[in-house]
Amino acid sequence: MTYLLDTTVLVDDLRRRPAAAQFLEGLNQQPSVSVVSALELYAGARSAVEETHIERILAGNIVLPVTTPVARLAGQFIKHLGNAYGFDEIDAIIAATAEHHGLDLATLNVKHFPMFRRLKRAY
């Protein structure tokens, strides 16, 4: 499987949680991340040292941009599911990025991604 890592997995990696390390070490292919996850990581950085760790994490992954097709799909997710499930634009963009690129989503917040009915926690 090829994965798009949700911000929750990236934060666990940043915090050096063993479960995240074990999950990431077990991957057969280089994972991807949405550029909006990079935004979330930088917004939550608590120090310059942590920003350096974020750079290391991002360098080890393929960072995917928000393109017009991704934005269109994210908008459709919000229009059709947003009111019922209350997820935000960033989660919609992450989901749309995974869908558009044919990637499996690795997350710890399954309820934030109702568009993937069979989604399970990454670890």
pTM for this entry: 0.94
CATH of 3-112, one of 3.30.1490.100, 3.30.360.10, 3.40.50.1010, 3.30.70.1400: 3.40.50.1010
- Going from the C-alpha of 29 to that of each of 15, 48, 61, 94, 95, the distances in angstroms are 22, 29, 10, 19, 19
Q: Which residue has the tokens 């960072």?
A: 63
Residue spans of the domains in the chain: they are 3-112
Give the single-character DSSP code of 65: P
* pLDDT, tens digit, 9 for 90 and up, residues 12-31: 999 999 999 999 999 999 99
The one-letter amino acid at 40: E
* pLDDT, tens digit, 9 for 90 and up, residues 61-101: 999 999 999 999 999 999 988 777 777 899 999 999 999 99
